[in-house]
Amino acid sequence: MALRILKLTMGLLLLFTCFFAYSNENQFVIRVGDTISITVYNELDLTTKAKIGHTGILKIPLIGNVQVVNKTAQELSSELETAYFDGYLVDPSVSVVIESYRPFYVRGAVYSPGVYQFDFDMNVEQALALAKGLKDRASKREWYIIRGVEKSRVKVTKESRIFPGDILEIEESLF
């Protein structure tokens, strides 16, 4: 009985983890190398479009320097609305759009390692096709993605998703 409860608890925990991971993975955060567009409704002079530099800071009209890295478009939009409301605009409506994302990288035992443009819903198999496929000595199982600021290395399959800034690493095999 205790084993059943433990299995049920672990199953529910896994289910919730997968649900939250899936819902959060579609909320891309702004990082260095992304291009964003900021528009304020009925205020054309306040429109900003910029590629995020290494500082992660943008100079926003009337507000000044704003740290934009590690925020979702929605979070940045809310922050800018609050800042514009504080003495500048009566009822600001700010829209933030990530126009283009930083590229992803493929390295290791592929025919064309390099930098590739990120596209939504791209998986490892599609990334390998962009890199002109696996070399003869490429491993069929030792595929990894290096992801995030912490550079965590995760084993992946051909169905795994690619995210902006990922490094897809294909190991060589002895056989």
We report the CATH number of the domain holding residue 139 as: 3.10.560.10
| pLDDT of res. 16 | 42
Report which of residues 4 and 38 the model is more confident about. Answer: 38
What was the pLDDT predicted at 148?
82
- The pLDDT score that the predictor gives to residue 2 is 57
158 and 97 assigned to the same domain: no
Predicted TM-score (pTM) of the model is 0.73
Across-strand partners of 143? 170
What mean pLDDT is reported for the chain?
Answer: 86
| E strands, 24-137, in order | 35-40, 48-51, 57-60, 64-67, 94-100, 104-108, 114-116
Number of domains in the chain: 2
Residues 60 and 133 in one domain: no
